[in-house]
Amino acid sequence: MSAYQNLEERFRRIRDLENALGILDWDHQTMMPAAAGPGRAEAMATLEVLKHEQLSDPRVADWLDAAEEPAAIAGLDAWQQANLREMRRRHTHDTAVPADLIAADTRAVSASELTWRGARRDDDFAALLPALKEVLRLRREIAAAKAARLGLAPYDALLDGYEPGGRAARIDDLFDDLAAFLPDFTRAVLDRQARGPDVLAINGPFPVDTQRGLGLTLMEKAGFDFSRGRLDVSAHPFCGGADDDVRLTTRYDEDDFTSCTMAVLHETGHALYEQGRPRDWLAQPVGDARGMALHESQSLIVEMQAGRSPQFMAFLAPLMRETFSGSGPAWEPDNLRRLYTRVERGLIRVDADEVTYPGHIILRYRLERAMLAGDLALEDLPGAWNDGMEELVGVRPPNDRLGCLQDVHWPAGAWGYFPTYTVGAMTAAQLFEAACREVPELIPGLGRGDFGPLVGWLRRQVHARGSLLSTDELLTAVTGRPLDATVFKDHLRTRYLERD
């Protein structure tokens, strides 16, 4: 076989290991008995080391060098050339970190995640601190190793793993602009909201089984393929699993079904991206989703841009009323729209509206950079978190459960991930604007609960491209320009200040 063919075969094996790890991780977060944690951590560490060994085999480096020779590249088509580029990228990232560090990190993350669950439940940051310190110590080592290989600053090296080409300097510009825009804008929205009709409460209880049934209906409406995936429950909603086995989760509150409903739509957006990736390239790096900012844009297009639009609310209100046997003005579309677009200075990121949400992300981004650099000690995180929430969102957490313990990301080792959420929101606004411009039937379709026109456009323009293009190349090809924050700000103005 040619060098390139050898690489394709090797990455097929690596994908098999990644699929196994994906299902084990899903089980770890959803169904695994607590006492099984240590054994699961060892099993996952072994698989991570095996994956690393597949990539760090000296032959892989030789094959990459040979495949990148001009004569060899000339024999590859555009998809194969992009695949080779992504193979080199994966090899550079993964082989920068030694196998023993990968194994130690996997064990530490598994233990830390389990500890976080109890610490969050008990509002006990001190209980998490030792495990989180170990995760951060290992993340610093990983960041240093990748930084040396990639020629980047440590934080950029971690960010690049989640968002190819992502750099803190660009994030700083985007977030500083938002941080300057949001305070006055938020006050204007709250003032306008105060002058409008009150939001009428929708009172429960709402049985979990009924909420689950509604979630499954909405997943079907959005186009989720249940023959290649499923819906479950976890402490923190997520989308994971494996190729052709996409697992998404939510959490339920019998007193409030509204958060669960949107969480399901959000994770369905992620799942649709995974199910729509190019089938001929599923086992290869070029078939992967481009990055987490683009991934987050797909969830937010479904949840925020489409799912909270007036047209979809007009469809959703009678469906919810029928599902929960509701009656009265609280169940009318106008009230439901006000409910789902209500702006509040809240404590919890996953429940935040799209106006205050960026403040939550800017806080986490600034804190994780400071912790990684050693400028903020972990012991001081709760106080720094509370001060930052007061500055950026306008509320102060009364305890750590509602403060720095609310997210699993840092205990799970996801340092450098948080900024992709708000970059994803900006990307979603830009893509949705282009989709509405190009597909006249999109908005009327949402009024019938039909996501087909929107998802069909996303399949063609985003999902089916995999990692063929960089994020900016894809955005330019699809929308006519790279990421432009003004589109997101215009969307906020239109929805929250100019709507009826």
- Give the active site residues: 267
The answer to whether 88 and 67 have CB atoms below 8 angstroms apart is no
Look at phi and psi of residue 206 and say left if phi exceeds 0, alpha if psi is from -120 to 50, else beta.
beta
Joined together, the tokens standing for residue 299 give 């969830």
A 10 A CB-CB count for 110 gives: 25
Whole-angstrom Cα distance, residue 271 to residue 303? 12
Return the ∠ at Cα 375 (arms to 370 and 381), rounded to 5°. 65
CB of 35 closer than 8 Å to CB of 8: no
Beta-ladder partners of 250: 233
Dist. CA 117–CA 132, nearest whole Å:
12
Strand partners, 240: 247
Contact 323, 204 (CB under 8 A): no
Query: Which residues, 6 or more positions from 478, have their beta carbon under 8 angstroms from its beta carbon?
Result: 431, 434, 461, 462
Q: Dihedrals φ, ψ of 377, to 5°?
A: -75, 145
d(CA 253, CA 240) in angstroms, rounded, equals: 22
- Residue 428 corresponds to which tokens in the numbers above? 């979603």
Distances (CA, A) of 380 to 372, 383, 391, 490: 13, 6, 17, 37
By the 10 Å C-beta count (0-12 exposed, 13-18 middle, 19+ buried), 312 is classed as buried
Distance CA 247, CA 239 (A): 6
CA 91/CA 9 separation, integer angstroms: 15
Order of strands, sheet of 229-233, starting from the edge strand that comes earlier in the sequence: 229-233, 245-250, 239-242
